[in-house]
Structures are given as structure tokens and as C-alpha cells.
Structure 1
Amino acid sequence: MSSGIVFEQVSKSFPVREERGARNGRTRKGGSADFAAVRDVSLEIAAGEFLAVVGPSGCGKSTLLDLLGGLAEPTSGRVLVDGKPVRGPGLDRGVVFQQYALLPWRTAQANVEFGLEAKRVPRRERRERAREYLSLVGLDGFADRYPHELSGGMKQRVAIARSLAFDPGVLLMDEPFAALDAQTRESLQEELLRIWQRTGKTVVFITHGIDEAVYLGERVAVLTARPGRVKEIVTVDLPGRGDADGDVRSSPEFAHHRHEIWSLLRDESAARPGAPAARTESEAVHV
């Protein structure tokens, strides 16, 4: 089961304190001002789609995910999931963060069961479903391990299994592989594609990596510099993506989409105060 998502003219601002000056080495505080994180974002994500989101640092990528997850409220506009306004966190949306957020006193299986407990799933069914999803993410035989006994990649697999186990329509992922080494990151990218193809979930994936966005996303939403707006949506067509025997990252199609997104981001990166534009694509693998 998957869910469609709509952002309708969504803006989000945060109040901040203004600095009005200093006297005798003391800073005098002024009134409050608004810090605009995102502005007038309109975006439709189809049920079952994999959307990657990229943009310059500080452009509001994570803010959009917080709004979709119900962890923050829009200043204006609406966020809809299956046609219903998001009014807070809910079990229809699973979240995977960069930091694994596992409970250290629980085993891998007990971590996966956590969301099922909130849904009051019977104990026997919880146990069976947790083992099913641990198997789905390639962790057969690790159900009784504690987080400190697992590698970083294994911990992230547990986090993904936990988010999938209570069967959300939407999976929200905020740079989940950023802290991993390159080999583990690529392995988990392939694993995530396999899981997505098998489950049909709607996935919104935030990343700083252009290569990661191209490899994973059916479409890539490119945001402007702060305040973040949708600059362009790039449709990615990569034959053989997710094929273990292929090397899609070396294909002409991959290079084409990579260059297209890099070109869109080049001017936006230059718009950040004190941040010169990347001169080459290799300098802009992460934005």
C-alpha cells in the first residue's frame, strides 16, 4: 500500500532574534524577525513513486521532510497525504534519519517491533513481522543482536526494517546513507531499490549527493538556494537500474542526468553567501 503526496503553496518560516548592535562590548537584542526556510513549494508525488530531493546546503530539504512527517507545521499552504492534511506524526509515514535512532537497550528484533507495539499488534504477530522485515533487509540471523554489536550499515538496515514493519504508505528518508563508507552506501542504495520495487512504497529521499539522487530517484526535485523553492523536476530514465549485473553508474544516461542536475545546482550554490560555484562536476558530487 502506498500514498500520494501533495504540497500546496507551502512556506515555512522560523522566528529569530535580530541583533541591533553592541555597546561596551555587550550585544543588544532587538525584535524578532522571520527566517524563511522554504517558500511557495508546490509539488505532487504519485503513490508508489521514488522522489529524490537535492539542493544547496541550507535550502530547506530537511524542513520539507519535517513538514511531511508532521514534525513541523507550514506557515502557509498545506501538505496532503492521500488527500488528507498532515496535522502531526502518524503511522501512515515512516521516517529513516541519518542517525539510526535505534534504542540501545533493545535487540534488532525488538527495535523493529517498536512501531508495531504502538499499533497494538499482538506479540506473536509482532515477532513474525519483525523477522520478516529483518529478512527483507538482509539481516537473517541478526535478530538477537544489540545495536552496539552491529556495523553502521546493519544499524541502518534495522532502521529501515523498523520503518517498513508497520506498513506505512510513505517512507521518508533524510540522508540515511550519508555517514556510511562508499562501498556500504552503494550496497544499501541497491538494497533500497530492491525493497522499494518489492513493496511499492512512496519514497521521499533527501540527499546531498547528485550521484545518489540520479541512481535512486525516478524523479529528482532540484531546490533553489534559501528560501527553498522547486527550481525544476528532472525525470530520470536509467535502463537496468538496480540490476546487480549492470553498471548503470557508468552509462551515458547516468552521465547525462548527472550533468543536467549539476548544471541546475551550479548557480544555486553560487547564490549562497560566501560559497563560490563549483567549477567542475566532480566538485559538486555533494551539494
Structure 2
Amino acid sequence: MSEPKIRFEKVGKTFPAPRSRSRAKRGRRAAAFTALDGVDLDIAPGEFTVLVGPSGCGKSTLLDLLGGLTRPTSGRVLVDGEPVTGPGHDRGTVFQQYALLPWRTARGNVEFGLEAIGVPRRERAERAREFLSLVGLDGFEERHPHELSGGMRQRVAIARSLAYDPDVLLMDEPFGALDAQTRESLQDELLRVWQRTGKTVVFITHGIDEAVLLGQRVAVLTSRPGRVKEVVTVSLGGARTDADDPRSSPEFAAYRHRVWELLHDEVDRAQRQEREAVAV
């Protein structure tokens, strides 16, 4: 078996809790906040892995650790066998909010990251056109963000992350703010881009259908502190590429039900935690 592209090795992350006014008056110190505890997960090169879990379980924290935006309190995060110590050009990130520069065109936004790493002007323009075409935006290169729909803006954000050719694409609920029809269209587009580029993708979602449709494996996290409860391997076979919607297949329904079963108790537990926190 080949070495994993990404390895979370007994990863824990604890944040110091803010001291509330009521606690301060009573002279009590707030307890530390443990977001993740002992996360073990290997992701193979070229694999599309989806993370799901109840709100507050640490999904985005895991992505921040992988992106090098923060450090684990315990354990290690490895990419190609090397510890992650900070951001790097080998990892590109797409967030739910597009974060496009409003004064730049679609092409200019894609070129922005390439400028930062010193890519020559002519090559920047060629790569921007190539990746805008890859995400289906031929003819929209000179449009500004306000002239594009939400789905188009997210396509620009994806093209921007792909343009400097990262090995790993990190996606934090990138379609969460879109309407259902646009979201389904971009899901299909993302699968096509992934199959063409062979990138390793780590994708966060709250949607079970989205997780099963996109992921080769779906890692279900527990309620806080987040741990990997189970990893579901999804094998839709021809259903993933057939003209018919794979969501209508019995295989899809079975995987969806399995992920829902794993999540159900964790969501209930997370809601109890929230109620108890409010009551304190």
C-alpha cells in the first residue's frame, strides 16, 4: 500500500475559553475548549474525502490545521510524510465565501495568486484562461465579480485555487451559500474537474447527499470533541458517471442511510451540549 498523501496522527486541538463577565465576577476561570481529540485519518493521493459531522465538531478546525493556519495542540498533521508547519503552495483552499477582489476581473482574480509566487505575466494570462475554461467560464474572463452569478463566482474561486497547481485542494462548505440547482450543477462540475486533474480533495459539508455524491470516502466525526467515528467507503461505480442522476440509485440510498445513522446520535449529542452550555 502506498504512503498516504495526508495523515492526521492522534491530532488534538484545544482553545483557551474566553472569560465571561459572570465568571469573572465570581472569580472563576473558564475551562479550555477542546475542539478535536485524537483524530486519526489517512487520505490517499488523488482521493476525494468528505468530512461530515454535527455543528461544532471541529471540521473546519481540521481543515485549518491541514492548511497550516493553526497548529495542533497534540499529534501531527503530515503531507507527503512531512509535518505541516504553515501555509504552502502545495495546498489550495476554497471557502464558502468567494473572497474575490471586486476591482479585478475573473481573469485578474485567478492571476492574483500567480502574481504572488512570481509567475511571469504571459504565463499568468495563459493559466488563468486555461483554468477558467476548465470550470466552464469561457467567455467570462473579463467580467467583474458583480457581473457574475454566485455559482460563477465560486467557479472563479475554484479556478484561482487550481491555477497555481496545488497537490491538495481544501474545500470548506464551498457550495453552502448557493441555491439547490446551482449547487447540484457545481457538484457535477467539481467531480469532472477532480477526475481530470487527479487532485487530492478534502471537502467539508453539512449535506449528507452532497457527501455521498462527491466522496470516495466519507469520514463521520463525533460531536465535540471531534473524533473520527467511522469512515464510509462509497462505491457508486457507473452510477457516478451515468447520465441518470446517481441520487436515484439504490446504492446511493444505502450509503446515504448509513451516513445518516452514524450522524443521528452525534447531532442529538451536540444539541444537548449546546443547551447545557447556554444553561451554565
Q: Deviations over 1:71-123 (max 9, x none)?
A: 11100111011111111111100000000011111110010011111221110
Equivalent residue letter for 2:18: R
Q: Tell me, which stretches of 5 or more residues in structure 2 are unaligned?
A: 275-280
Match of 2:95 among 80, 91, 97: 97
Match of 1:75 among 73, 93, 98: 73
Name the % identity.
Answer: 72
2:11 is the counterpart of 1:10: yes
SS of equivalent residue, structure 2 residue 203: strand
Q: Distance in 2 between matches of 1:54 and 1:195?
A: 22
Q: Distance in 2 between matches of 1:62 and 1:29?
A: 32
Aligned CA RMSD, in angstroms, stands at 1.7
Q: Distance in 2 between matches of 1:167 and 1:41?
A: 28
Q: Tell me, which stretches of 5 or more residues in structure 1 are unaligned?
A: 277-287
Match of 1:159 among 157, 167, 171: 157
- 8 A Cα contact 2:51 2:59, kept in partner: yes
Q: Deviations over 1:221-241 (max 9, x none)?
A: 000000000000000011234
Match of 2:35 among 7, 20, 37: 37
Aligned equivalent of 2:258 = 260
Equivalent residue letter for 2:14: S
Q: Distance in 1 between matches of 2:57 and 2:157?
A: 26
- 8 A Cα contact 2:20 2:30, kept in partner: no
Equivalent residue letter for 1:79: V
Aligned equivalent of 1:47 = 45
**Larger helix fraction of residues:** 2
Q: Distance in 1 between matches of 2:168 and 2:196?
A: 14
Length-normalised TM-score, structure 1: 0.91
- 8 A Cα contact 2:96 2:177, kept in partner: yes
Length-normalised TM-score, structure 2: 0.93
SS of equivalent residue, structure 1 residue 272: helix
SS of equivalent residue, structure 2 residue 118: coil
SS of equivalent residue, structure 2 residue 18: strand
Equivalent residue letter for 1:159: A
Aligned equivalent of 2:60 = 62
Moved over 6 A (4+): none
- 8 A Cα contact 1:19 1:29, kept in partner: no
Q: Deviations over 1:151-202 (max 9, x none)?
A: 0000000000000000000000000001101110000000000000000000
Aligned equivalent of 2:278 = none
- 8 A Cα contact 1:65 1:174, kept in partner: yes
2:145 is the counterpart of 1:120: no
Equivalent residue letter for 2:154: Q
2:174 is the counterpart of 1:176: yes
SS of equivalent residue, structure 1 residue 33: coil
Aligned equivalent of 1:285 = none
Equivalent residue letter for 2:16: P
Q: Distance in 1 between matches of 2:22 and 2:164?
A: 52
Once the two structures are TM-superposed, the CA of residue 148 in structure 1 deviates from its matched residue by 0.7
- 8 A Cα contact 1:20 1:30, kept in partner: no
Once the two structures are TM-superposed, the CA of residue 32 in structure 1 deviates from its matched residue by 4.7
Q: Distance in 1 between matches of 2:45 and 2:256?
A: 25
Match of 1:146 among 135, 144, 147: 144
Q: Deviations over 1:17-49 (max 9, x none)?
A: 344847xxx945533531000110011000100
Q: Distance in 1 between matches of 2:52 and 2:85?
A: 25
Q: Distance in 2 between matches of 1:86 and 1:96?
A: 19
Q: Distance in 2 between matches of 1:238 and 1:82?
A: 28
Once the two structures are TM-superposed, the CA of residue 247 in structure 1 deviates from its matched residue by 1.6
**Larger strand fraction of residues:** 1
